Structure 1
Amino acid sequence: MTATSASGTTRGAGESTVAAPAVARFLHLAASPTFALMALSTFILDSGGPGALCAAVGGSGFNGMAPMYLLMAVFHLTPWLKLMSRQHA
């Protein structure tokens, strides 16, 4: 007997869906490193140009996308901290 999923794909009776829960368990860990890499690449690729000129004129250095990505990475560190605390306990 075959089952049809919500996306319309058909699976056979012997086919399991073990990969989806395994991926979902670790997907929340991807946010913080992704945002950290985005902050780093934005800082490196966008250094110079009009943004640097405006910051040198008197604005703070904390404007733009790189600090926002760093802040997002910090806010998404919770799953990593939980994982590390479980490993040390």
Structure 2
Amino acid sequence: MSKIESGTCAGDRTRSKGWRAIARGAADSLHLAAAPAFALMAMLTAMQDGGAHRMSCMGLADGSPWSSMSLMYLLMSAFHAAPWIRLAARRGT
């Protein structure tokens, strides 16, 4: 039986290793996306007009733009900043 008949061609193995390397690289850098994404969500939530915050807080005439959701996103951004701090520490040495 030849290599082509068995379905194991050298080109297939090379392409498979290439995709694995890409997947590993994406997985290694994915953790860096959380903090900026949450920070952006906090900014967008704070900048939006009206919304659920004003409806739920009818007693507030002029409430803060930092609603509970935007504060939550800001805290999540802070909690997910560890990979960025580690990256900065590695580059500093």
TM over 0.5: yes
**What amino acid maps onto 2:26 in structure 1?**
V
Q: Which residue of 1 aligns with 2:28?
A: 25
CA distance in 2, matches of 1:32, 1:72: 7
Tell me the SS of whatever aligns to 2:84: helix
- Once structures 1 and 2 are overlaid, which stretch shifts more, 18-27 or 61-70? 61-70
Shift in alpha-carbon separation, 1:63–1:44, aligned structure 2, 3 A:
closer
Residue 56 (structure 1) shift: 6.5
Q: Return closer, same or farther for 1:56/1:50 CA change in 2, 3 Å cut-off.
A: farther
More strand by share: 1
Q: Choose 26-35 or 16-25, whichever is displaced more.
A: 16-25
Aligned equivalents of 2:58 and 2:12: distance in 1?
A: 60
Q: Using the aligned pairs only, state the percent identity.
A: 37
Give the unaligned 5+ runs of structure 2: 1-7
Which residue does 2:43 correspond to in 1? 40
Tell me which residue corresponds to 1:14. 14
Q: Give aligned pairs, total.
A: 79
Which is helix-richer, 1 or 2?
A: 2
Structure 1 segments unaligned to the other structure (5+ residues): 3-10
Structure 1 position 75 matched with structure 2 position 92 = no
TM-score by length of 1: 0.71
Q: Write the deviation string for residues 41-77 of structure 1: whole angstroms up to 9, x where unpaired.
A: 11111x435634738739x846421000000000000
RMSD across aligned positions (CA): 2.6
